[in-house]
Every structure is written in C-alpha cells, then in structure tokens.
Amino acid sequence: MNAPQSPDQTKVEQAKLLIDGQWVESRTSEWRDIVNPATQAVLARVPFATAEEVDAAVAAAQRAFLTWRHTPIGARMRIMLKLQALIREHSKRIAQVLSAEQGKTLADAEGDIFRGLEVVEHAASIGTLQMGEFAENVAGGVDTYTLRQPIGVCAGITPFNFPAMIPLWMFPMAIVCGNTFVLKPSEQDPLSTLLLVELAVEAGVPAGVLNVVHGGKAVVDALCTHQDIKAISFVGSTEVGTHVYNLASQHGKRVQSMMGAKNHAVVLPDANRTQTVNALVGAAFGAAGQRCMATSVAVLVGKAREWLPDIKQAASKLSVNAGSEPGTDVGPVVSKRAKERVLSLIESGIREGATLELDGRDVKVPGYEHGNFVGPTLFSGVTTDMQVYTQEIFGPVLVTLEVDTLDEAIALVNANPFGNGTGLFTQSGAAARKFQSEIDVGQVGINIPIPVPVPFFSFTGSRGSKLGDLGPYGKQVVQFYTQTKTVTARWFDDDSINDGVNTTISLR
C-alpha cells in the first residue's frame, strides 16, 4: 500500500508518486518526515519529487486527456458513484490515518472526509451540471447552442489542515468534467490523501487521468509554469496563494486561489445566549483553530459584552488531548513550528495590551509530553491594530472586540482586508437582513458560525481571502474546469431557396 494502514505501524514507509496509473518510488534525494503531532513519532517519509518526475506526471495526464475527454458522461458519473461508496466503506480507516498525521480528533477527521464526500456525490450529478444551452431559430432556420468542454490537464495544490476534504474538492470535479489531473498534497500530511487516491484508482479512474506528485515550493512552481497545465486550484496561506496566483496567471493558466482569513462572529444581545456561546467556542477551538473558516474574532455588541465570562467558562471546559483519545475536544497543532508561531502571537497580544482571559500556553497532556499542544486561549480588550487581530493565528485563539451598535460591527468587519466568512447571532430578522445585505464578506452565516456551503452552492470567499473569480466546487467549479464553445448552425435540404450572396454581418 502507498500509505499506512493504521497509525501504529512500526515500519516507516515511503509515500509514493502516482504516475500514469503506477505507484512509483521517487528517485529524489530530498525527503521529509511525516510526524504525528501528538507524539512526534515518524509515520512515514514523503519525497520531494524531481523536475523529471513532475514532467512525467504531466505528460501522463496529457496523453490520458486525449481519450478521457471523449469518455461518455455516464461512464464518468459511475466512477464517482463507485468512489463515494468506497469512501464510505473506508472512512473510519482513513480517519485514523488522518488523525495520526494531522492531529484532529477522530470525529473531526471523519467530518473532514464527509465534507469532501459530499462533493464526490455532487460530482455524480455532472450530467445536469455540464449541460449547455440551446436556442432554436435565432434567425431564419438558424439554431445556436453551447457546449461545455473540458480544458485539459489541471493541477491542485492542497493544504495541511484538510487533507481529505480539500483534495476531494479538487480532483473529482476536475476529472468528472473530462479533464485529467495532477495532485500535489500537503507534504506535512499526505497519507490520508493517498488513501483517497487509491480508492479513486480502485473505483475505475484510468491510468494517467489522476496523478500525484509530492514536494514543496519547487514542485509548486513547476506546476504553475508547466506549459501543458491549463488550470491551477490552490487552497492555503495568503503568502503562498498570492505567489501561486501571480505565477500561474503570468503563464496563461486559469487560477482559483483560496487563501487566508480572519473570520468575525458578530453577537447581538438578543441572540440565544447558550447556543451562541457554544457555537463560538466550537468554531474557535475545534480542529485546534486550524480551519480557514474558524471563528477567530468575536464582536460583542452592546450588552452582549457581558457574555465574556460565559465564553471563558465554556472554553475552559474543553478537553485537550491527542486526537486519537476518546473525549478530546482540542488536539495538537500540526507541527512544532506551528506551535511556536501561535505562542509568539499570544505573547504579542499580551505585549500590546490585550487582556489574556484564558491562557493555553502551558497546557500539559499526560502521556503526550512532546505533543504540539496549545490549549484554548481567549483575549479581551483587543483593538484592530494588534497582531492578534491583524494576523491569521491558525491556532486555538479567540479574540474579542466590543462595539455599541450593529452598524459599528458591520463597519469593523468590512474594514478588515479578509473576506472568507462571517456570522451574525441574533433573533432579529431585520438585523439579519441588514447584516447580509451590507456585509462585504463572501460567505455569511446567520446563527451558524462556520458558513461553508453545501456542494450544490459554491464556496465564495472574497476580497483578501480569494484570488480568481470562480470557487472550488458547485456550479462555479464546472465553469472553471470547462470552456464554452458556441455553435451557430443552419441546415439546408435540397429544396431550400437560394437567398443569394449576403455580404452583411447579419443572419437572415
């Protein structure tokens, strides 16, 4: 197998590349350990593919595209149906590997897989999603219709925080539209991604239609500049996402780049207090805060500022432990480097004058003394010029700000450069309607803290959180992975009247 079957295996394996339907060992001299963030145990090693290996993967995809693009839609749909069945069958096994390499709780790992599975299920509807349009008799005997055709070889670059969901956002929709794909999983936790790719191969994805390469910046740049790749899909940090968008765009590719965030939850005093507090705490500290849609800022409006003790009490009750342990609420962050960054930003909040209401810096987890743990951390008295507000912390840290009115809250959220997601907690329909109308953020939740849409809709982050005008799933991604061809046709029979020569641009 190309990824561990369980996180407790004693032999350290080497992650493989998938090129033209074959799992191959890389010939690279550069490797990285895949480390369990709760124990620091080395689970496997991942290669940083050579330039020749990247070229071979792209070449395989280019060859496969010549035939795959003509595969009937029904055949593509049936592969997606088989894939979703296989993912359901193996989800618990994949979740164990995902939890071991990424640190999530088992329940959250299964949720990661399920949200990706929803996209696979939607991909099985491609027969209606990829339909063109038809207009009869637009001029005398003339019909016009459109075809939505695949664009060619596409590539996806995925982040560490969702090693199941994000890859499943990408390659199923791309290949079901008739394209071929080169996937570069996160080098920090690719093992669960590889298990999903194995299932795709088992489901019937032909050789060369889906390929996998591993690596860092050199591999990313090679994909962004390769002459045979037509489109790049990226999810990750703002710094890397901006680089990917600029480099790939300069080389003539379609690009969708989902990047960083600073997601606000605005709390009005008329909201349901218990439900709101629970929602804030779950959205802020779940997955150790390592979600691009995590709630990292609570804006307490008017008397809702009196709820701070409730938030602190609920957060203090969360269990910090290894993701594999029953009852865990908050697992470790993904790496020692990530922990150091989170701790540094907490220190900056203290230094800049915020009040540390709940301190998660010195949390101790018996039996996992070397784990990358940070406990739930809560700040009050935060201002918009502090680093804990201006930077995406990507850890279990919630900062709170206070304003007097909903108008002030809307202005505060709109002044932030990010636009990934926001939420409003209220029982007022008028306030909700005002908020969703005036807020300048692409994804809005009303009494929902993490407003990630289901696959029938499109992920629509905006402003500093997104580059490119089409989202990674839903109807928008079908547009991204296809090109429109318009056909205008007139047919004549033997008895047609000859209208003579027409030297104008008009049809008649």
Q: How many whole angstroms separate alpha carbon 165 and alpha carbon 270?
A: 35
Give the model's confidence band at 505: pLDDT under 50 very low, under 70 low, under 90 confident, else very high. confident
- Global confidence as pTM: 0.93
Q: Do the bridges between strand 444-446 and strand 210-212 make them parallel or antiparallel, or are there none, so unpaired?
A: unpaired
Predicted confidence (pLDDT) at residue 500 exceeds the cutoff of 90? no
Residue 504: its pLDDT value, please? 72
Residue ranges matching CATH 3.40.309.10 in the chain: 261-416+420-444
| pLDDT above 60: residue 318 | yes
Q: What is the pLDDT at residue 4?
A: 47
**How far is residue 295's CA from residue 281's CA, in Å, rounded to a whole number?**
9
* Average pLDDT for the chain: 94
The CATH number of 11-258+460-484, from 3.40.50.2300, 3.30.1060.10, 3.40.50.300, 3.40.605.10, is 3.40.605.10
Per-residue model confidence as pLDDT tens digits over 143-195: 999 999 999 999 999 999 999 999 999 999 999 999 999 999 999 999 999 99
Q: Measured between alpha carbons, how far is 357 from 246 in angstroms, rounded to an integer?
A: 41
- What is the pLDDT confidence band of residue 6, given thresholds at 50, 70 and 90? very low
pLDDT of residue 456: 86
Residue 314 pLDDT > 90, yes or no?
A: yes
Nearest-angstrom CA–CA distance, 100 and 298 = 31
pLDDT in tens, 441-477: 999 999 999 999 898 888 888 999 999 989 898 889 9
Q: In the chain, list all ranges with CATH 3.40.605.10.
A: 11-258+460-484
- Structural tokens at position 139: 């001029």
Check pLDDT > 70 for residue 92.
Answer: yes
Exposure of 463 by Cβ count < 10 A (0-12 exposed, 13-18 middle, 19+ buried)? middle
The percentage of the chain sitting over the pLDDT mark of 90, rounded to a whole number, equals 89
| Multiple choice CATH, 261-416+420-444, 3.40.50.720, 3.40.309.10, 3.40.50.10490, 3.40.50.300 | 3.40.309.10
- Name the 3-class secondary structure at 449: coil
SS3 484: strand
State the pLDDT at residue 95.
98
Look at residue 494 and tell me whether its pLDDT is greater than 80. Answer: no
Q: What is the C-alpha to C-alpha distance for residues 500 and 496, in angstroms, rounded to an integer?
A: 12
| pLDDT, mean of residues 30-38 | 97
Residue 292 bears catalytic tag: yes
- The answer to whether residues 156 and 170 touch, using CB atoms and an 8 Å cutoff, is yes
Which of 154, 177, 224, 292 is catalytic? The answer is 292
